[in-house]
Structure 1
Amino acid sequence: MRAVHLGGASGPAVSALCLGTLPFGSTVDERTSFAILDRFREAGGTFLDTANNYVFWAGTGDESETVVGRWLASRGARDEMVVATKIGARPRRAGGDLSDAEGLSAPAVRTAVEASLRRLGVDRLDVCYAHIEDRSVPLTETLGAFADLVDRQRIAVLGCSNHALWRLERARGLARAHGWPAYTCVQQRHSYLRPRPGVRLPEAGHTLISDELLDYARHEPDLTLLAYSSLLFGAYTRADKPLPEHYDHPGTTRRLAVLRAVAAELGATPNQVVLAWLLAGDPPVLPVVGVSTVAQVEECLAATELTLDEEVLARLDAPA
């Protein structure tokens, strides 16, 4: 699998496909999780994504990090893998929700990072994201706490997820002004199909990659964009997974028709075309793929070998 660099040419090299591990240890049992991780590693995958709150709505929030940590230890794979996790969106009390999240105060950041390190069984987080915005805390407090953890080699690369563009730009400006490490990875929700303009997503805390963010990233060579939910929970290929209502608009009809035509012409699945389209974009967007079976991993891996030429990309991106 080809490699890319996070946060510019001097950043760590990772596989172009990032394996999301949200269901590991909960709806995907440990044996299956290990099989998925083994196959991903065998294919040259080196980039894993988790969070300190997966899956708090159906468990404790420890599950994913704990399973990933056990796999790293059992396979002796720590030095081969770039492990990303997220903090800030874990409920402070069992049974809580995002309205009671730990947040991004300096004490919360320090405590959350140390807990993630323990669950993962590592001494450094290769990438650590601020998972959701916390506007109750000054950005300088959050960024200063992160900078201290980078100085102490507890974190290597910083990122943010589900942040408004203006907050990202302000955070990066403050980091430059103080001589602190900046957010260089941004993970938001993104796919080939787009919801109706102005729609409010039903999933709490989710923020889309906007056209403005794409344009911003084109002019920031040290910024890497990553996309979660890029396969829309199976809706591109599974009849039992209809598109959510907020994708019901004329643009969806046209884009789906083109997507399916391109997939048929290339002998690929719509999922594979979507992933290849993300990677071929300007700027490229690295997919964080969530899977629950080895077969799904195989489908996603094949997307990294799929080439979309300029004519195909123009058809996929043509306005309605």
Structure 2
Amino acid sequence: MKYTQLGRTGLKVSRIVLGTMNFGPFTEEAESHTIMDAALGAGINFFDTANVYGWGENKGRTEEIIGSWFAKGGGRRDKVVLGTKVYANMAASDNAWPNHDKLSAKNIRRAVDASLKRLGTDYIDLYQFHHIDRDTPVEEIWQAIDVLVQQGKILYAGSSNFPGWKIAQMNETARRLGSFGLVSEQCLYNLEERRAEMEVIPAAQEYGLGVIPWSPLQGGLLGGIIKKEAEGGRRAGRAAEALNDAAARARIQAYEDLLDKHGLEPGEVALAWLLTRPGVTGPIVGPRTADQLTSALRAVELELSEELLASLDEIFPGTGPSPEAFAW
């Protein structure tokens, strides 16, 4: 496994991030433990989750599954760089009391203690803001985070789904207050969806944040969906809906044809492409089975030629960074 540093921290993390969103809703606890053991055995040390994962009546279930895996011992917790998130309304319905969601100091304090209990640990390596909160002053957020760092409950703070301007605002405020600031940004980024290149990734690079792309296969769209469809696979979800657009289908067909010519698997190439991108720490993969994890691991060792990278840019040209992306 290849490793890199997480942004401007001293943490060494694997270039593949194990996403756990499927643990609970789609993958039972025993299989989830098997996947985590396989990931750790393969050298993946960066695990990502969120307090809301489990969804619906089972919000928090995913953190509980990770906690029961840690409880097996064997140095599991010490070997893992653990990231979780805060923001969501954790009530079973949307009828929560005020201050039971978002990024108020009150909710951050409540949420971190609840996550620590579910995870069965006394600290979180990377505590991430799942979305921006337009109501809570940035100064209040950093005051709450600084207290958690001083208490030893978290090591670093990161963001998720933040626009470039918010990354700048958060870190400029942190600088003024003497806080450490954000160290990472989780963003939607893949071959098909490259808008993060305009402002989010440049902002992350400017402030020394690691970039952790989520949905690297665009919900399966980049995982060989047309070929699977031709082989009798079931069409479902957003990826299948995207193929109803003629232009999108043409791009994906060209993508699959190109990789078929090179004897490469689409999903592995999509992951490997992200590992070539400036500023990227590592993409999040969310396997439902151990076999899916094995496929993701192969992407780390896959070397993409300059010719292939140029061909991918022709199919998925992206927007380019700002301000050039806005040029007339």
TM-score (norm 1): 0.87
1:172 aligns with 2:171: yes
List per-residue Cα deviations over 1:50-90 (Å, max 9, x = no partner): 11011223x32111000011111214311111110001113
* Deviation at residue 151 of structure 1 after TM alignment: 2.0
1:217 aligns with 2:204: yes
Residues 138 and 170, structure 2, Cα contact 8 Å, conserved in 1: yes
List per-residue Cα deviations over 1:75-128 (Å, max 9, x = no partner): 43111111100011133x322289986110001101111111111111110111
- Partner Cα distance (2:168, 2:269) in 1: 31
Aligned counterparts, 1:270-281, within 5 A:
270-281=266-277
- Partner Cα distance (1:98, 1:268) in 2: 48
Partner of 2:217: 231
1:148 aligns with 2:147: yes
| Change beyond 3 A, Cα 1:144–1:247 | farther
List per-residue Cα deviations over 1:4-59 (Å, max 9, x = no partner): 11113x420011000110121232101110111111111111110111011223x3
Partner of 1:63: 61
Partner of 1:289: 285
- Partner Cα distance (1:315, 1:21) in 2: 32
Aligned counterparts, 1:1-320, within 5 A:
1-8=1-8, 10-57=9-56, 59-76=57-74, 77-91=76-90, 93-96=91-94, 102-194=101-193, 209-220=196-207, 222-235=208-221, 236-238=223-225, 239=229, 240-241=234-235, 243=239, 245=241, 252-253=248-249, 255-284=251-280, 286-318=282-314, 319=317
List per-residue Cα deviations over 1:140-198 (Å, max 9, x = no partner): 10111011111222111210112222111100100011110211110012221128xxx
| Change beyond 3 A, Cα 1:214–1:254 | farther
Secondary structure of 1:83's counterpart equals strand
- Partner Cα distance (1:241, 1:303) in 2: 25
- Partner Cα distance (1:194, 1:249) in 2: 15
- Partner Cα distance (1:98, 1:85) in 2: 21
- Partner Cα distance (2:66, 2:134) in 1: 31
Secondary structure of 1:174's counterpart equals helix
Secondary structure of 2:71's counterpart equals helix
TM-score (norm 2): 0.85
- Partner Cα distance (1:37, 1:78) in 2: 11
Residues 193 and 247, structure 1, Cα contact 8 Å, conserved in 2: no
* Deviation at residue 237 of structure 1 after TM alignment: 2.5
| Change beyond 3 A, Cα 1:252–1:285 | farther
Structure 2 unaligned spans of 5+: 319-328
Secondary structure of 1:286's counterpart equals coil
- Partner Cα distance (1:99, 1:193) in 2: 39
Range 254-263 or range 27-36, more displaced: 254-263
Residues 14 and 282, structure 2, Cα contact 8 Å, conserved in 1: no
Residues 187 and 196, structure 2, Cα contact 8 Å, conserved in 1: yes
Partner of 1:203: none
